Amino acid sequence: MEKKRYTIIARPDEVSAQIQRNAEEELQNAGFIRDDANADYGFIIGGDGTFIYAVHQWFYRLKKMQLYGIHTGTLGFYTDYRDSDYREFMDKFFAGDFEEVTYPLLHVDVKGVMVHHAINEVRIENPGRTQKIDVYVDGEYFETFRGTGMLVCTQLGSTAYNRSIGGSVIQEGLNLIEMAEIAGIHHAKARSLYAPIILKDTVHIVWKSESFKGALLGTDSSVYPLDDATEIEIYTCPEEWVRMLRGRKVSYFDRLKSLF
C-alpha cells in the first residue's frame, strides 16, 4: 500500500510549534511521509488567518488535498478543535472518524492584468479618492456606486470583513455570495443600493470603471494595485474548491457567538 503523504503549516508561536512537533512525530510513527509538494493531507495549526494563508500556499493542489485544522489562534471559525483537544484531534484522524466538507473559492479576473482567488472575500478600496464603479450582474447593468469601494464575499467570508462593514451573516450550508458597499456616498446626485445584497452563487459580477487609479484589490489578506485595470469579473470558481475534514460536530451558532 502506498504511504500517505502530508504537509503542515503552523502559526509562529510556541504552542503551535509544539503541536506541530507532536503531530509530525505521530504521523511519521504511523507511516506517513512529509511531502510538501505532493501531500494528501494538509495539517493547519493556528487560527483563521493561518487557515487562509494555508489555502493560498496550497492552491495548486487543493483539489487533491484534504485539510485538517486545530485552533491555537484568536478565532477558530474554520476548525473544530482547540489546542486542548489535541488528543481527540489526532485520534479522530487516525481512526478516519471524520467527514469531508467542501468550500467554494471566488475567481477574480482583472481583465488583461491578473487572475486571483479568494476563500473569504474580494474587495476594491480606494483610500485616496472617491471611486466610481459601474456594477453588472450576469451581464445586466445594476447600479453605479460612488464611495471607498465594494466587496464580494462567500458564505464563509460573510463573518469576516463583510460583517465589519455592516454586511449580513450567511448561515452555514447556504450556497450564496454577498455584495456590500464600503463607505458609499449617497445624496441627490449619487445613489446606489446602500444595503448589502445576497446573490446566488452562480452569478457573475463585473465591476467597471474608467479608472481604478489609486485603488487596491484585496483578495483575502493579499493586496494588489489596480492602476492599469478598468474591469474586474468575480464569480464562484467551478473548478477549484477547498476540501476540509470535520471530525466533530460544532454548532454553527456556537461558532458565530464566539465572534461577539
Sign of the C-alpha dihedral, residues 116, 120, 125, 131?
positive
Cα–Cα distance measured from residue 220 to residue 109, given in angstroms and rounded to the nearest whole number: 15
Phi, psi angle pair for 40, to nearest 5°: -90, -30
How many C-beta atoms lie closer than 10 Å to residue 251's C-beta? 9
The strand ranges marked E within the chain are 5-10, 33-34, 41-46, 66-71, 81-82, 99-110, 114-118, 121-125, 131-137, 140-154, 176-184, 197-200, 204-208, 216-219, 222-225, 231-246
Half-sphere exposure of 213 (CA within 13 A, CB side): 2
**101, three cell numbers:** 466538507
Concerning whether 228 is annotated as a catalytic residue, the answer is: no
- 118 - beta bridge partners? 106
Choice among 13, 35, 36, 48 that is catalytic: 48
Q: Give 99's strand partners.
A: 246
What is the distance between the alpha carbons of residues 253 and 260, in angstroms, rounded to a whole number?
Answer: 11
Quick one: 25 exposed, middle or buried, by C-beta within 10 A (0-12, 13-18, 19+)? exposed
Task: Give CA 115 to chain center in angstroms.
Answer: 16
Q: Among all residues, which ones are annotated catalytic?
A: 48
